[in-house]
Chains A and B, each alone.
Chain A
C-alpha cells in the first residue's frame, strides 16, 4: 500500500476515533474544515491534496485546539498501527 493511502486510512481512523470521543457531528465537521483534506459526510478521507503529513498534522491540531492534548494522547494506538508514519510531537 502506498504511503498516501496509508495516510488516508490513518486519518480516517483518527476521524472515527474522534467521532467516538467528540461525537460524529463535531469530529467530521472539524475534519472537513482542514485544508488539503476531502472528507465525506460519513468521515471517510476521499482525497488529500498536497503533503499528507502536513494534512495529518493539521487534522490532529484541529482536535487539539478543541479539546486539548488529551485527545491527541488517545491517538497513540493508531500511530502504533502505522509504524511508517512518524508520530507528531
Chain B
C-alpha cells in the first residue's frame, strides 16, 4: 500500500514536474519564436542586400529610374506575394504606367490600381493629373474579363529623386489583409536607398554639368552644341552676343542659321560635318565689325558603351579680327616701304636719264645741283634701309650697343645745336634744360644715343606748330619718386600719364626727355607708337606733311632697352607730348 502521508509529497512532485514541463514548453516555444523572428529578419536583410546588389549589377551607375524600378518589380516575387507590381513615372508630357501581373486579374483590377496610383501622385503633387496622357504597359499574366476580384491589399511607395516626386511604385493583391507592416517597410527602405543612390549620382552629374556650363559660359569664344537631330542643347553667352541673339533661352538651329544668311548655310555645314565625321573650318563670317572663323565639328563619345558614336555637333566662333587687322597692317607696311623706296629710286633714275640724254654734265652748276639731289635720294634710301636693318636686328634679338663713358650733357647740347636751324626754319623755339646732379659722364653708346635724340627731336619739330616750343630735358631720377614729379620739381615742362605712376620704382637713372607743345596724342594712339606696323599706319595717316617710315620710335625703344633703360610717353591732346627715356647709372 502506498503510504497516505506521502501523497502531498507526490502531489508536489507531480505539480513540480508539470510546471517544469510547462515552463520547458513555453521556453521552447519562445526560443522557436525568437529563431523564427531572427530567420525572418535575416531573410529580409538578405533580400534587401540581394536586391540592392541586383540593382547595382544590372543598372550600374545609371540615372535611369525606370530601369531601377524594373529590377525592383522583377525581383519582388522572391520576397512578397502579389497580383500586380506596378509603377507610374511622371514625364514632362505623359505618365508611364507599367504593370507586371503575377496572376490573372480583371481589367477592373488594373483600372482600380491605376486610379489609386494617380490619386496618390495627385495628393503628393497637390494638383490633378487628369490632363496627362497615361502610357500603359502590361507584362506577365493575362487579364481575364470574367474575374471579379478587386485589389484588396495594396500599398504605394512614392519615388522621390533629389526632393522631386518622380513617380510611385505599387504592390497590390486580390486577397485582403495580406501585407504586414514590416514587409512593406522593407520595400520602402529598398526604394528609398535606390532613390538616394540615384540622387547622389545625379548630384555628381549635376556638379560636373555645372562645371562644364561654367566653363562654357566663361569662354570668350562662342560655342554652340547640338544633338544628333541638330537641336541646340547648349549655347554660351559669347555665341549669343556674337550673332546678336537677344532673347533668353536657347535658339533653334534655324534661328542661328538665319544669322549666317549671306555667308553660308550653317545647318547644311553641320549636317555635312556630322555625316562625313569631319572638322570643317569656315572663313569669312562677319558679325558687326568683327571677323570670325567658324569651326564645325562632330562630337563623339570617347568612352563607355557609346564609344565612337556621334552624339551631336559643335560650332565654335573663333574671333580672327586681330589676325585680319595684323594681316592688313603687314600689307600696308609692305606697300608703304615699297613706296618709300620707290620715290628716291625714281628720282635717281630720272636724274640718271637726264644726265645721260643731255649735256647737263657740261653745265657745272646743274651738275652740282643734280649731284646734290642724287645724294639726298640715296641718303633717304640708306636711312630707310638702316632703319629696317635695325628693326630686323631688334626682332632677331641681335641688337647690341657699345657702352662707353660719355658726356651726355654735351651730347644733348650738341644735338640741340644741330637741330637749331631746322627749328628756326619751322619757327619753333628749341631749348635745352639740364637739372642738377646729372653726372658728367654716363655709360652709354654715344652714336646710338645721338640716333635716339635725332628721332625724338625730328618728330617733336615735325609735330609742333609755328610759335611752339620744344624742350630737351635731362635730370637725375632717384627711386621712390615718379619721373613726372621729379621733372615738375625741377621746373621742367612735362606731360604725364597713368603709365608714369610706376616710374617711382625705377632704379637710379638719368632721364632724358623731349617735350613739345605740339598737337598731342590720343590715348588709343599712344599704345600703337611702339608697334612696327601700327606706328607705320599712324604715321602714314599724317599725310604729305609728315612723311616717314614710323620706325624711328620702334628703334628708339630698342636702343633704350639695350641700355637697360625704359621709354615712355605722356601727352595731352591739343597741348603737347613728352617722350622720355632713362639710362640706368
Residues on A close to B: CB < 8 A? 17, 20-23, 25-26, 29-30, 33, 66-71, 73-74, 76-77
Contacts and interface: CB of A to CB of B under 8 A. Distances in A.
B153 A25 contact: yes
21 contacts: A20-B116, A20-B119, A20-B120, A21-B123, A21-B124, A22-B155, A22-B156, A22-B158, A23-B116, A23-B154, A23-B170, A25-B179, A26-B181, A29-B181, A29-B184, A30-B181, A67-B158, A68-B158, A70-B160, A73-B124, A74-B126
B216 to A, nearest CB: 33
B160 A66 contact: no
Given A17-B123, A71-B158, A66 B188 contact: yes
Contact of B156 (A21, A30, A70, A77): A21
A23 B156 CA distance: 6
Interface in B156-174: 156-158, 160, 163, 165, 170
A70 to B, nearest CB: 5
A74 B124 contact: yes
A71 B124 contact: yes
Contacts of B185: 66
A67 B168 CA distance: 11
Interface residues of B, number: 23
Given A26-B181, A26-B184, A29-B184, A70 B124 contact: yes
Residue from A17, A23, A29, A66 with most neighbouring chain B CB atoms (10 Å) = A23
Given A20-B119, A66-B188, A25 B158 contact: no
B451 interface: no
Nearest to B121: A21
Closest 3 CB pairs of A and B: A29-B181, A23-B155, A26-B155
A69 B196 CA distance: 13
B150 to A, nearest CB: 13
B192 interface: yes
Given A21-B156, A25-B184, A67-B188, 10 more contacts: A21-B158, A22-B158, A25-B155, A25-B177, A26-B179, A29-B184, A30-B181, A33-B181, A66-B185, A74-B124
Contacts of B165: 70
Nearest to A28: B181
B181 A77 contact: no
A66 B189 CA distance: 7
Nearest to B117: A23
Nearest to A69: B163
Nearest to B180: A29
Contact of A74 (B116, B123, B163, B192): B123
A67 B163 CA distance: 11
Contacts of A74: 123-124, 126
Interface of B: 116, 119-120, 123-124, 126, 153-158, 160, 163, 165, 170, 177, 179, 181, 184-185, 188, 192
A70 B166 CA distance: 11
Contacts of A66: 185, 188
A23 B183 CA distance: 14
B506 to A, nearest CB: 65
A45 to B, nearest CB: 18
Contacts of A21: 120, 123-124, 156, 158
A17 B158 CA distance: 14
B122 to A, nearest CB: 8
Contacts of A68: 158, 160, 192
A87 to B, nearest CB: 15
B39 to A, nearest CB: 22
Residue from B155, B156, B165 with most neighbouring chain A CB atoms (10 Å) = B156
A51 B123 CA distance: 28
Residue from B126, B165, B181, B192 with most neighbouring chain A CB atoms (10 Å) = B181
A20 B123 contact: yes
Residue from B123, B126, B185, B192 with most neighbouring chain A CB atoms (10 Å) = B123
A17 to B, nearest CB: 6
Nearest to A18: B123
Nearest to A17: B123
Nearest to A26: B155
A11 B177 CA distance: 23
A73 B155 CA distance: 20
B129 to A, nearest CB: 13
Contacts of B156: 21-23, 26
Contacts of B160: 67-68, 70
B419 to A, nearest CB: 87
B28 to A, nearest CB: 29
B157 to A, nearest CB: 7
A24 B124 CA distance: 15
A33 B182 CA distance: 11
Contacts of A67: 157-158, 160, 188, 192
B109 to A, nearest CB: 15
Contacts of A76: 126
Contacts of B120: 20-23
A72 B181 CA distance: 20
Contacts of A69: 163
A76 B126 CA distance: 9
A66 to B, nearest CB: 5
Contacts of B184: 25-26, 29
A25 B160 CA distance: 21
A17 B399 CA distance: 89
B3 to A, nearest CB: 59
A42 to B, nearest CB: 13
Nearest to B188: A66
A85 B55 CA distance: 43
A82 to B, nearest CB: 17
B126 A77 contact: yes
Contacts of B124: 21, 70-71, 73-74
B188 A25 contact: no
Contact of A70 (B154, B155, B163, B179): B163
